[in-house]
Amino acid sequence: MSEPRIIFAGTPDFAAEHLQALINAKIPVTAVYTQPDRPAGRGRKLQLSPVKQLALSHDIPVFQPLSLRAEEAQAELAALQPDLMIVVAYGLILPQLVLDTPKLGCINVHASLLPRWRGAAPIHRALLAGDAETGVTLMQMEAGLDTGPMLAKVRTEISDQETSGELHDRLAYLGSQMLVGQLPALLAGDLKPEIQHDDLANYAAKLEKQEGQIDWSKDAETIARQIRGLSPWPVAFTHLDGNAVRIWLAEPDSKSANTPAGSVCETSKRGIAVSCGTGRLWIKTVQLPGKKATEAAALLNSNNHPFQLGTQFD
């Protein structure tokens, strides 16, 4: 094959890391597909996706169809005569006609050790479930949700202190390096597809803000995973006197306290300890209503903090 015509489809930072890796490796990208510009911020100004910003800075043509189900969008893609389409966190459904358009089909980099987590939020779900390891999978796309044959994997352990934001960045790097490293073998047809076992699959549903609400009757380890898994979005929260208090960083402690779940049972340089259904949780970084996130130890040094012994979270 002469120099392949590669289309890249992606939208957020995770995808931009992969496009950057292709650019760094001097792998020509014929065109980029990304979601339409969206209003964002207080001014609701149109925001270019990270992938679009990167593509424009390297003079790569950008296409932003509202849907790839439209005949016009499908004809536009076919006119590019792609050999391969690389899809990373694009966010739009690819109908069968689009999947069949590139000569070598469409491949996807997915932030999970498939088939463990299929769906929109595999990084967060792995943390929330307490998985010991995760990784990225390169797969051949088909009509099902993340069900296609697996072409390559990279595994990594999950630290017991890692947030979803930190894990996101690590997996973005690992995935981008895997993509660049496996691309020559893929183009040569040397990668052996491995069929997924559906009975091992779990659905990684999109995160909802209400998932951040802490139930203090749960054990401290589960709550700590919730806090790590929902940082930096949507951020775990509890209520104090009817006001939301966001908890950004915490660590579990197996020591039990003879106080009601959700009550402050100790304060020290370590932070704010709250009784849980089992064990207790040390809050390390907290955000009070209308304030910035603050280290709990520093907040305890102020004269007007609300975290007295016995203080009960709603």
Burial class of 300 by CB neighbour count within 10 A (0 to 12, 13 to 18, 19+): middle
Q: What is the pLDDT of residue 53?
A: 98
Q: pLDDT tens across 283-292, in order?
A: 999 999 999 9
Q: What is the pLDDT of residue 1?
A: 53
Q: What percentage of the chain reaches a pLDDT higher than 90? A: 95
Helices (H), the chain: 13-24, 50-57, 71-79, 96-99, 122-128, 164-187, 220-229, 296-300
Query: What's the average model confidence in pLDDT over 131-142?
Result: 98
| Domains located in the chain, CATH noted | 6-204 (3.40.50.170), 209-300 (3.10.25.10)
Q: What is the mean pLDDT of the chain?
A: 96
Q: What is the pLDDT of residue 163?
A: 97
